[in-house]
Amino acid sequence: MPSDVRGLGSRIPHYLVIFGVIISGCGSQAETSNECVALTFTTETTKSEMPIVFTDYKGSSLAQSFKLPASADVSGVSLVLSKSGTVPDDVPVTLTIEGDEPGKPNGTVVTSATGAASGNLRPANISTPGAYRFNFTGYVTLDFNKTYWLRLTGAWGASNKTDANFIQWHAHDGVSGDYTDGRALYQTTDDPLGWSSYLVGAYRDLLFTIHCRQVP
């Protein structure tokens, strides 16, 4: 897939069409004419995925940092996801935007007067690899050139935490074409600040699109 990093004013990222995924389910909605794309990174050079709630490393979250090329009112985020095995449908997958500690998510969801940067999807609506959208309640304003973190979390019980049942967040993998304004991290313990780059490596970035409100 070709590199695709765009600024304000861009329209729906092309991978939504290439993957042919209909964005549906909890927290999803169709694109509207007053929306734009604040930033998108969709370079998937190899079939590389990272799982959440994967017992081998006791992880419950994945995170990717980013910086916007201009300040924007953000309405939601699309991630390239897929599912392996059977994941409980009654416990949603949650995507939040959090501040920087620095060097890792600070655990505080970005909020505004109109809403919070948090959205859910039901695992039943995640299947084949594609772009799945998490909508926020209202809009949250993100500042230009400030580090923020996308954090994907699954909270299903221990009986379902196996090496066969998990949600995957797809990634770019390789020195060439990586996203230079952020990095990927994996939560290796139940400590919300216990983050590591061991699994994701130095050249892996998770795929995402930041949706925003179109300014007239």
- First CA to last CA distance, the chain: 31
Give per-10-residue mean pLDDT for the chain (216 aa). Answer: 30 25 29 71 62 57 92 94 80 92 92 93 87 93 96 70 74 78 79 67 82 75
The answer to whether 141 touches 72, Cβ cutoff 8 Å, is yes
The pLDDT of residue 189:
59
The pLDDT of residue 23:
26
The pLDDT of residue 192:
54
Q: Whole-model pTM above 0.85? A: no
The answer to whether 154 touches 96, Cβ cutoff 8 Å, is no
Bin 172: left if φ > 0, else alpha if -120 < ψ < 50, else beta: beta
The pLDDT of residue 12:
26
Query: What is the C-alpha separation between 117 and 147, in angstroms, rounded?
Result: 15
The pLDDT of residue 49:
56
Type of residue at 117: A
CATH hierarchy code of domain 15-213: 2.60.120
The pLDDT of residue 68:
94
The answer to whether 174 touches 45, Cβ cutoff 8 Å, is yes
The pLDDT of residue 198:
65
The pLDDT of residue 6:
30
Query: What is the C-alpha separation between 48 and 199, in angstroms, rounded?
Result: 12
Tell me how far CA of residue 128 lies from CA of 22, 85, 156, 168, 188, in angstroms.
11, 12, 21, 10, 26
The pLDDT of residue 202:
64
